[in-house]
């Protein structure tokens, strides 16, 4: 009885399909290693080493898992820093807010900015009158630190 084997070109096609699948999905570098495993088994079959289907399958699994364990983390770190730029943090610093109430010097009150009311601390030497513009110097938690404009 003849043992079951898979042609070298079938392994290569499976490997290319897995590599294509990695390109088309945002999976996080998993399929690429199984594609490499299938291509490696296809190359082994191409050079003339003709193991049984069981040995081919074991080679595929071992090569794929070994490549995954050794290369996924460095690959993720390399591409995460290059492909996903950090978006600029939405900052209120330097923007003009409108005092909702009078805010005494070194006191706390309310300001409106971007359609939302915020707590604000006036760090300036003069009182900020109601409806006056003030400048956001910094943000501490949910408190704006402001100064009269």
How many domains is the chain built from? 2
Kindly report the average pLDDT of the chain as a whole number.
88
Asked if residue 75 and residue 23 are part of one domain, the reply reads yes
Write out pLDDT tens, residues 115-128. Answer: 999 999 999 999 99
Asked if residue 144 and residue 113 are part of one domain, the reply reads yes
Write out pLDDT tens, residues 26-66. Answer: 877 899 999 999 999 999 999 988 778 888 999 999 999 99
Between CA 90 and CA 115 the distance in angstroms is 15
Asked if residue 71 and residue 27 are part of one domain, the reply reads yes
Provide the whole-model pTM.
0.54
Share of the chain above pLDDT 90, in %: 64
Pairing of strands 143-148, 116-122: parallel
Asked, for residue 1, whether it belongs to a domain, the answer is no
Give the end of a domain, one of 55, 83, 111.
83
User: What range does the domain containing 119 cover?
Assistant: 96-148
| CATH value at residue 102 | 2.40.50.140
Asked, for residue 114, whether it belongs to a domain, the answer is yes
Give the end of a domain, one of 56, 83, 110.
83
Asked if residue 115 and residue 57 are part of one domain, the reply reads no
> Where does residue 38 fall: left (phi above 0), alpha (psi -120 to 50 degrees), or beta otherwise?
alpha
pLDDT at 86: 59
Mean of pLDDT values over 22-27: 85
Asked if residue 113 and residue 79 are part of one domain, the reply reads no
């Amino acid at each position: 009885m003849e043992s079951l084997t898979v042609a070298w070109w079938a392994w290569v096609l499976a490997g290319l399909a897995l590599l294509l699948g990695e390109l088309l999905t945002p999976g996080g570098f998993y399929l690429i290693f199984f594609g490499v495993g299938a291509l490696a088994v296809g190359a082994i079959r191409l050079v003339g080493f003709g193991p049984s289907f069981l040995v081919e399958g074991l080679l595929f699994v071992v090569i794929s898992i070994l490549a995954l364990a050794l290369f996924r983390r460095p690959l993720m770190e390399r591409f995460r820093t290059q492909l996903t730029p950090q978006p600029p943090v939405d900052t209120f610093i330097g923007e003009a807010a409108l005092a909702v109430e009078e805010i005494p010097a070194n006191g706390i009150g309310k300001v409106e900015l971007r359609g939302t009311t915020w707590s604000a601390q006036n760090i300036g030497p003069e009182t900020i009158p109601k409806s006056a513009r003030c400048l956001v110097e910094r943000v501490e938690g949910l408190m704006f630190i402001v100064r009269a404009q």
